[in-house]
Amino acid sequence: MQRLIAISNRVPKPGDRYTSGGLSVAVRHALERRGGIWLGWSGEVQETAESEPKAVTTRWNNVDYVTVDLTRRDEEEYYNGFANRALWPLFHHRPGLTEFARREMAGYYRVNQIFARILAPMVKANDIIWVHDYHLIPLASELRALGVKNRIGFFLHIPWPAPELFTILPNHARLAVNLVNYDLVGFQTKPFMDNFTAYLKEEMNVSTQGCVVEAFGRISQLGVYPISIDTEEFVRFAEAPASSIARRLEASLQGRTLALSVDRLDYSKGIPQRIDAIGRFLELYPEYHNRFTALQIAPTTREAIPEYAEINREVAEAAGRVNGRFGDIDWAPIRYINKSIGRATLAHLYRAARIGVVTPLRDGMNLVSKEYVAAQDPLDPGVLVLSRFAGSARELRGALLVNPYDIDGVAHALRGACEMSREERISRFEPMLQHLKAYDVHRWCDDFIHALTRDRALAMIA
């Protein structure tokens, strides 16, 4: 079996299985089965730069975890700068938040070069290389420049924007060429892949034949691989005895209907709009006063970026307005907390919630929606209220699909979820659970690796 090398922006701690997200679960599973290397940023920042960054290797369960510290300048330019102030907002259809600086773009390429220089000497002839997400689009080009001829795949976990948005980036053509240096490029949904092929056709005069791109001296394959969760694991978590946090939550509800949302604190998640919709729901349906509680869990992230401090303030103020208007001395309609909660405990909270509210303004997939479904009691499942702009909306057909910008529409969906009969809830839930069991995170991982390793004419054109 060929050895697998995975590269991602961050590398989880070896053995940390119960707080990691979907990417970590899938990649760790594949690496441990095949043996291999996982390389990326340690998360640590050095104030001063050394002549060449040093990698630290930790061996765990057949995997070498290779981590690299970045300098303060690297963090600011590569991570906080180009990756998260240029690519992230633009790819999530927020051009007004996009900031571009050539210094930050240079830092983005510099860090990709650092990763390539560290990785290249470790690569063996039969290794396959799997690169993850928008932080590392140039990595294949950098590895090719160092003579690496192995098959290299790339998976984009976030949306790929429409051509007219992507061209806002001054270096858009360079990034597109970087992407075609991969043998296989995976997208979450077909519309995201179609956006990329439309860009190639409209801006670079490159045509595609099905999912094959022949351009810039290479033949590359494109594909759609919706990421998923470890469904059976989440079912086991939910069926285990409830944690103390879940028991405390259930006792505090005093029989009220719980609507649960779990997001990173990010402007793409639509949290202020969601809170406004809850306020509108309470305004339109006063019979739910003191009978309904919404719990918003939103751990803070990327605190060094000003836009993220602003969204934290905006969410807290929105929750305060709704609680101030509708709350009482013994009831706050919205509970808002910023702490992270482990996956096993989250499964119990999902099961306790009659409604899962997942309403991002734009999302590549959104695994919370899948976790919520997997955690439900098959005999008495809850209802998923899901944004049509989440990638998972194309799979979870039993959800109540909403437009997160339509505050009244979300409010009406909340009421429909509260009133839905047990029979309808079960009929919506069962096909979704069966789909998640058939297309879990291990299937996603295996499908991508199989496509990357199969014998096809995707090598360099002579």
CA distance 15 to 13: 6
Cα 92 to Cα 433: distance, rounded to the nearest angstrom: 28
Amino acid code (one letter) for 382: G
Element containing residue 179 per DSSP (H, E): helix 172-180
Contact 304, 321 (CB under 8 A): no
Exposed e or buried b for every residue in 126-139, given b needs 16+ CB within 10 A? ebbbbbbbbbbbbb
Is the distance from CB of 26 to CB of 441 less than 8 angstroms?
A: yes
Active site residue 157: yes
Whole-angstrom distance, CA of residue 205 vs CA of residue 133: 25
CA–CA separation, 441 vs 449, rounded Å? 12
Catalytic residue among 64, 133, 230, 363: 363
Closest CA to 185 of 175, 193, 177, 174: 193
State phi, psi for 338 to the nearest 5 degrees. Answer: -105, 10
Phi, psi of 185, deg, nearest 5: -120, 120
Q: Give the sign of the dihedral formed by CA 333, CA 324, CA 296, CA 340.
A: negative
Phi, psi of 382 (to 5 degrees): -85, -175
Q: What angle do CA 73, 75, 81 make, to 5 degrees?
A: 95
CA pair distance 442, 422, nearest whole angstrom: 31
363 is catalytic: yes
Whole-angstrom distance, CA of residue 77 vs CA of residue 104 = 4
The number of residues making up the chain comes to 462
Q: What does residue 58 show for φ and ψ, rounded to 5 degrees?
A: -125, 125
- Three-class secondary structure of residue 429 per DSSP: helix
What is the rounded CA–CA span in Å between residue 114 and residue 191?
33
C-alpha span between 84 and 110 (Å, rounded)? 16
Which strands make up the sheet holding 355-358, listed edge to edge?
Answer: 334-337, 292-297, 257-262, 355-358, 383-387, 400-402
Using alpha carbons, select from 163, 152, 151, 165 the residue that is nearest to residue 193: 163
CA gap 233, 394 in Å, rounded:
23
Rounded to whole angstroms, the Cα distance separating 394 from 340 reads 28
User: 92, 132, 135, 157: which one is catalytic?
Assistant: 157
Report, as residue numbers or ranges, the catalytic residues.
Answer: 157, 363
